[in-house]
Amino acid sequence: MRTAAIVLAYALVSPVHAQDAKALFAAISDGNQAAAWLELRRGADPNAKNADGATPLHVASALARDGIMKLLLERRADLDARDVDGNTPLHLAAAHADGETVELLLEGGAKIESRNGLGETPLYLAAESGRIDTARALLDRRADPNARTSNNETPLHAAAMGGDVRLIGLLLERKADVNLPNRDGEAPLFWAAATGALEATRLLLESGAEVNARDAKGNTALHGAADGGHLDVVVILLAAKADVAAKNAAGHTPADAARARGHPDVVQALAKR
């Protein structure tokens, strides 16, 4: 997913289908509502696309230019327009803006379960970006907390990777399945443990995550934490009855993984069990 900085940059990319919209894109980037109104009045195309496939509504949504968004929507800006990555304006609002911007698009008729080129919904991108405000706005409108990407990842996977406890808690409160695996058989707990997200790991365990669930290669969350050298995570997994003797498909235990990566403190902690 693009960073906010890149979104700002592509706001200024010259339109490829309507040169008269260049000033409109610039006005949106600057947050100049009066200039945007003037360009639209002069006939600038509200559905022009720049070289990244972004329309004025994409850029306004990413930058939370709500006043300009209203002008664009009044002129029938396409809520379902896709950029080169398959993102709709709602995807970009979910990832970069705020709850009010998301609400404005939803009230205008944006499709809440739209999928981009990777099969990601707006809620997935909100979770990936750690945007609890936009995630809450989407969930309040009944966004599916268990929607899968093309890799079978859920928003909870994305939140677990980021270690955002508040966002994880929100998703679980809205019935996210704590044990859904992705295409590689990895549950959110594996992602939290493997990235060293201590509090996220703790919350997932307290919420019923299966501590000894295995991925497609036979690895458990303990393998992931040991491989990454995350001693504090290893400790809480052991306290939750993680199987220290579990072997993956290659026949390696968590201690083997830690030893191979040069984490003697983790090896020692595992040897005590």
**Residues 88-109 pLDDT 10s:** 999 999 999 999 999 999 999 9
Phi, then psi, of 50 in degrees rounded to 5: -90, -175
pLDDT surpassing 70 at residue 86: yes
**pTM exceeding the 0.95 threshold for the entire prediction:** no
Provide the 3-class DSSP secondary structure of residue 193. helix
DSSP letter (8 states) at residue 76: T
> Where does the chain hold its CATH 1.25.40.20 domain(s)?
1-144, 179-273
Residue owning tokens 């909100």: 126
* Confidence (pLDDT) at 3: 43
Residues 257, 267: Cα–Cα separation, whole Å = 9
pLDDT surpassing 50 at residue 78: yes
Residues 120, 152: Cα–Cα separation, whole Å = 10
Confidence category of residue 19, pLDDT binned at 50, 70, 90: low
- Please, what CATH class does the domain formed by 179-273 belong to? mainly alpha
- Please, what CATH class does the domain formed by 1-144 belong to? mainly alpha
pLDDT surpassing 60 at residue 1: no
Average pLDDT over residues 69-80: 97
Computed over every residue of the chain, the mean pLDDT equals: 94
Average pLDDT over residues 173-194: 98
Residues 64, 138: Cα–Cα separation, whole Å = 16
**Residues 118-171 pLDDT 10s:** 999 999 999 999 999 999 999 999 999 999 999 999 999 999 999 999 999 999
